């Protein structure tokens, strides 16, 4: 058997970034498993291999045992597929894992299905692998279900394990342990800090090469508007008001000073005069690798991408959130308030995050930004 320090399981580019940051920092002998739930996962795996950070990089494609669950139609068929999967957990684990490997630790995020399968397998076989959860962005902080297990899942696991207790997470690795603990005050598990990207040039360089983010893909405009899927969250009236605000910001700040970052899943056509960032599918956290987050002014209805400079780079650009002025048709703004208010508490300068309560307050903020842009020229 080949003894390894760790295995990492990732299903998103953000998770890959966090795994690379943690693996470089810990200098462990580790394997990376990618569940390809995003485009170009195979190509990304090849570029990660070229970096030599992990011993082996595995892209888990076409797993028969997993596919049956994912494509089961309806609750009854899904429950049946899950039960069958748990009943044959050894076969499923063997389909996932590299043969003849023993890991001291498994790093994953909470809702990764493959990690949950392996946790069940580890418990059933009494394997000594310890499970650690690492940062997955906003959802790691404000997900109210972080410490809950679905009742039907408890029943199924008890049936499979008998009286054994399922081995769960042993520790967390988060970019902001303070924010995580504030959001989850009942947490009793140890929380360790994930290193910020700007603290390690090896990580920055590797990520830029892996995600093919060159300097010309950085954002040079000082004011960045983060758009949302407006047709899903705003009434037609508020959608129109937001468009009018974008045009106002363009006129107030100047065409060369402001740009819109569209939501990656936004496929609508727009007639707006304001310029859009030309690579809309690149996540903002990757764009920051080729930009200067410290000089940004971020404006959005409620996009949590606005806190990525703080989480990943420990930079605190001025952020203006507008969701008190343009109410969503659906959604709980009390939960959003709690998240951003607790996020504010982790900033060295809490006033960096502004949430205007009136059009007059927003106008004052716009004038202040105009003055700073004028002085910078």
Stretch 220-225: mean pLDDT: 95
Stretch 81-96: mean pLDDT: 84
Specify whether the CB–CB gap between 252 and 372 falls below 8 A.
Answer: no
CA distance 105 to 130: 5
Q: Which domain holds residue 299?
A: 216-376
45, 372, 342, 328: which is closest to 211 by C-alpha?
45
Give ∠ CA 206-197-15 in degrees, rounded to 5: 75
User: For a pLDDT cut of 70, what percent of the chain falls above it?
Assistant: 87
Domain match, 230 and 174 both? no
Domain match, 141 and 220 both? no
pLDDT of residue 237: 77
Specify whether the CB–CB gap between 246 and 228 falls below 8 A.
Answer: no
Stretch 87-115: mean pLDDT: 90
Quick one: pLDDT band at residue 125, thresholds 50, 70, 90?
Answer: confident
> What is the pTM assigned to this prediction?
0.88
Q: Could you tell me whether strands 258-261 and 56-59 are parallel, antiparallel, or unpaired per DSSP bridges?
A: unpaired
Domain match, 174 and 275 both? no
Which contacts of 368-376 are long-range, i.e. CB under 8 A and separated by 24 or more positions? Answer: 369/223, 369/253, 369/297, 369/318, 370/252, 370/253, 373/222, 373/223, 373/253, 373/254, 373/257, 376/222
For the domain that residue 52 is a member of, what is the CATH number?
3.40.50
Task: Report the domain count for the chain.
Answer: 2
Query: To the nearest whole number, what is the mean pLDDT of the chain?
Result: 87
Of 24-38, 109-123, 199-213, 269-283, the least confident: 269-283
Specify whether the CB–CB gap between 224 and 48 falls below 8 A.
Answer: no
Domain match, 146 and 205 both? yes
Q: Which residue has the higher pLDDT, 164 or 247?
A: 247
pLDDT of residue 9: 97
Is the predicted pLDDT of residue 131 greater than 90, yes or no? yes
Domain match, 29 and 149 both? yes
Of 264-268, 306-310, 355-359, 364-368, the least confident: 264-268
CA distance 178 to 160: 37
Specify whether the CB–CB gap between 223 and 369 falls below 8 A.
Answer: yes
Quick one: pLDDT band at residue 227, thresholds 50, 70, 90?
Answer: confident
Quick one: pLDDT band at residue 289, thresholds 50, 70, 90?
Answer: very high
**pLDDT for 39-80, tens place per residue?**
889 999 999 999 999 999 999 987 777 777 766 677 777 778
End-to-end CA distance of the chain: 63
CA distance 144 to 257: 38
Q: Which residue has the higher pLDDT, 272 or 244?
A: 244
Domain match, 134 and 266 both? no
Domain match, 176 and 198 both? yes
Domain match, 240 and 96 both? no
Q: Which residue has the higher pLDDT, 147 or 117?
A: 117
Stretch 188-204: mean pLDDT: 91
Indicate the residue among 177, 210, 243 that finishes a domain: 210
């Amino acid at each position: 058997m080949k003894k390894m320090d760790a295995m990492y399981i990732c299903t998103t580019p953000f998770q890959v970034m966090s795994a690379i940051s943690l693996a470089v920092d810990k200098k462990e002998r580790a394997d990376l498993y990618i569940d390809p739930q995003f485009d170009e996962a195979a190509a990304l795996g090849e570029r990660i291999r070229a970096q030599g950070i992990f011993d082996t990089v595995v892209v888990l494609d076409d797993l028969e045992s997993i596919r049956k669950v994912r494509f089961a139609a309806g609750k009854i068929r899904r429950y049946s597929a899950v039960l069958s999967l748990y009943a044959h957990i050894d076969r499923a684990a063997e389909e996932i894992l590299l043969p003849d490997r023993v890991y001291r630790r498994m790093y994953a995020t909470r809702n990764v299905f493959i990690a949950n399968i392996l946790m069940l397998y580890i418990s059933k076989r009494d394997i000594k692998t310890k499970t650690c959860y690492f940062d997955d962005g906003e959802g790691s902080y404000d997900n109210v279900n972080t410490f809950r297990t679905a009742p039907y899942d408890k029943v199924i696991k008890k049936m499979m394990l008998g009286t054994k207790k399922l081995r769960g997470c042993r520790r967390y690795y988060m970019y902001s342990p303070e924010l995580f603990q504030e959001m989850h005050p009942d947490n009793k598990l140890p929380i360790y800090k994930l290193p910020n990207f700007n603290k390690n040039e090896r990580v920055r360089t590797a990520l830029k090469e892996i995600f093919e983010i060159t300097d010309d893909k950085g954002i040079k405009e000082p004011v960045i508007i983060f758009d949302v899927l407006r047709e899903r969250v705003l009434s037609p009236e508020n959608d129109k008001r937001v468009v009018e605000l974008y045009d106002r910001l363009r006129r107030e700040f100047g065409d060369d000073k402001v740009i819109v970052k569209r939501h990656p899943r936004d496929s609508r056509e727009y007639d707006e005069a304001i310029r859009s960032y030309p690579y809309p599918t690149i996540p903002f956290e990757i764009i920051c690798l080729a930009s200067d987050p410290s000089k940004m002014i971020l404006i959005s209805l409620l996009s949590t991408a606005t806190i990525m400079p703080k989480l990943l780079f420990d930079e605190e650009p001025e952020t203006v959130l507008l969701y008190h002025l343009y109410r969503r048709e659906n959604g709980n703004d009390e939960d959003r308030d709690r998240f951003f208010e607790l996020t504010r508490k982790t900033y060295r300068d809490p006033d960096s995050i502004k949430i205007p309560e009136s059009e007059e307050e927003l106008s004052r903020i716009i004038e202040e930004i105009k003055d700073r842009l004028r002085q910078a020229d």
